[in-house]
Amino acid sequence: MRESWHEQFAEAPDVLLKARRGRTVVSVLGVAIGGDQFVVMAGPCSVESEHQLMATAYKVRSAGARVLRGGAFKPRSSPYSFQGLGREGLKLLASARNETGLAIVTEVMAEEDVPLVAEYADILQIGSRNMENDSLLEAAARSGRPILLKRGMMATIGDLLRSAQVVLSNSNANVILCERGIRTFETAMRNTFDAAGIALLKQVTHLPVIADPSHAAGVSELVPALAQIGIAAGADGLIVEVHPNPAEAWSDGEQSMDFPGFTAMMADLEPWIALHDARLHEQNPSEAQCVDLSFAKAVA
């Protein structure tokens, strides 16, 4: 790693890639995120009903996803928009895990909700609006659950790494970074996908990095292309929004893929993923450091 990067990101020392340690691999229900296989997380923006969630869970699993995403608590731009089903949504996610074997990732928005969400979820997502909410980061870290940390809408790479440092400093090494697009002068898309940011993160940090083409694009038509770009940039996985009927979705319908679209995208991504996995297999497998989650089970 360049010496200048060590200096630039010196405020996040535990996050930086060092010669004496390998890359962190976060294992959840047999899924190794950051390992030698590409991992896809997929599901609806919001949990709406048992039928909607279960249909989506079975479909994304059959297409190759390993983790089910779904929002039980939703941060919305308008206070009049759907805010999520709360505990009932968490229960539905847990049922979906029991039936399909998919690990669950869902967002936690408030410090006081961390114990509740951690009771049901396998991975706690910290959304872009809360990336610099240190109190929430500390509480989520202490839950013992792995943390999916999304880059803030106007955050630099340094900002993201400092937030990851907060989690690591609270005795939780299980951090997955997520590039989901940032705010720029461009208005044709919801955000601007920072593929260079993914490439840089893979150079400077030992933590897994995944790409969120759904939030970066804001429209489903662009998601497959951005997914390919994310893989080419070196991402360890994707998180994609999928809904049985995006036109009737309670949130983020425009950027959600329908079932045929997601299945087709996953098929089209196979050669890209194969190249990604082959490149990793060429590296020394002993360099991977698999995080021990036994302490997380103890507090669950």
pLDDT of residue 83: 56
What is the Cα–Cα distance from 68 to 70, expressed in whole angstroms? 7
Domain boundaries, the chain: 25-183+190-282
Quote the pTM value. Answer: 0.90
> Percent of the chain, pLDDT > 70?
90
pLDDT of residue 6: 87
Asked whether residue 86 carries a pLDDT value surpassing 70, the answer given is yes
Rounded mean pLDDT of 269-282? 87
pLDDT of residue 286: 47
pLDDT of residue 281: 74
Q: What CATH code is assigned to 25-183+190-282?
A: 3.20.20.70
Rounded mean pLDDT of 231-241? 97
What is the Cα–Cα distance from 86 to 287, expressed in whole angstroms? 40
Asked whether residue 217 carries a pLDDT value surpassing 50, the answer given is yes
- Dump pLDDT digits (tens) for 136-156: 999 999 999 999 999 999 999
Amino acid identity of residue 266, one-letter, is M
Q: What are phi and psi of 46, to 5 degrees?
A: -120, 140
- CB count, 10 Å around CB of 29? 14
pLDDT interval class at 298 (50, 70, 90): very low
Sign of CA dihedral 1, 22, 147, 65: positive
Q: Which two tokens stand for residue 160?
A: 């993201």
Rounded mean pLDDT of 178-188? 94
Rounded mean pLDDT of 209-213? 98
Rounded mean pLDDT of 218-232? 97
Asked whether residue 237 carries a pLDDT value surpassing 70, the answer given is yes
- Dump pLDDT digits (tens) for 36-47: 889 999 999 999
- CB count, 10 Å around CB of 185? 5
pLDDT of residue 20: 64
What is the Cα–Cα distance from 245 to 183, expressed in whole angstroms? 28
pLDDT interval class at 284 (50, 70, 90): low
Calculate the average pLDDT of the chain. Answer: 90
Rounded mean pLDDT of 14-29? 89
Measuring CA to CA, which residue among 180, 201, 142 is closest to residue 24?
201
pLDDT interval class at 240 (50, 70, 90): very high
